[in-house]
Amino acid sequence: MGTETGPIFQALDQTARYPYRPSEYLRRFIWVLVQLLLIRPSPARAYGWRRFWLRCFGAKLARTSRTRSSTRILHPWLLSLGAHSILGERVRAYNLGPISVGDHSVVSQDASLCAGTHDHTRADLPLQRPPIHIGSGVWVCAEAFIGPGVTIGNNSVVGARAVVAGDVPAAVVVAGNPAKVVKTRSIE
């Protein structure tokens, strides 16, 4: 079957029905329960409690890192947070691939970190899991979107609601959709 512009390329009936090992589905299910029953209802300042559960599932967290009870992390075993870094309210860490955050970095409320995509050049759309690296001293502002495979350099700022699809150099401020460098960040 085709359309006005030609044949349909992607074939959703050919995509992998189960792209993960069975043991990973079980681990994900248990993690969903832990988030729902033990993390989400935790008090606002119960950072140690949330670090405990994240570490139980393989997250690499500095002793002073923080997540909020409303933060959503898909695969804690693919997350690392540096010293004094925080994932804010309602941050979505869709980490099909690894996500690392350096020291003294903030990912503000409602931001999305998306370390997963599909290869659109193939009809069966295979899953891809490129990592996201967020440097040290970075501020990802409210409702920003960080896409798969992105590296954000140290001391940079990603403006509110920016859409970042490519690497961000160190010590700059980016904003917009798509995000572009708007100025350097003075770090004197």
> Within 10 Å of residue 182's Cβ, how many Cβ atoms?
13
Domains and CATH numbers, the chain: 19-184 (2.160.10.10)
The 3-state secondary structure of the chain, one letter per residue: CEECCEECCCCHHHCCCCCCCHHHHHHHHHHHHHHHHHHCCCCCCCHHHHHHHHHHCCCEECCCCEECCCCEECCHHHEEECCCCEECCCCEEECCCCEEECCCCEECCCCEEECCEECCCCCCCCEECCCEEECCCCEECCCCEECCCCEECCCCEECCCCEECCCECCCEEEECCCCEEEEECCCC
Of 87, 187, 66, residue with least CA distance to 134: 87
Burial 57-83 (b: 16+ CB within 10 A, else e): bebbbbeebbbbbbbbbbbbbbbbbbe
Q: Residue 84 has which token pair?
A: 């004094």
The pLDDT of residue 68 is 98
pLDDT in tens, the chain (188 residues): 555 778 888 888 888 888 888 888 999 999 999 999 999 999 999 999 999 999 999 999 999 999 999 999 999 999 999 999 999 999 999 999 999 999 999 999 999 999 999 999 999 898 999 999 999 999 999 999 999 999 999 999 999 999 999 999 999 999 999 999 999 998 77
What's the CA gap between 5 and 80, in Å, rounded?
45
Peptide bond into 43 cis (omega under 30): no
What's the CA gap between 120 and 175, in Å, rounded?
26
Active site amino acids: 118
The pLDDT of residue 3 is 58
The pLDDT of residue 1 is 55
The pLDDT of residue 96 is 95
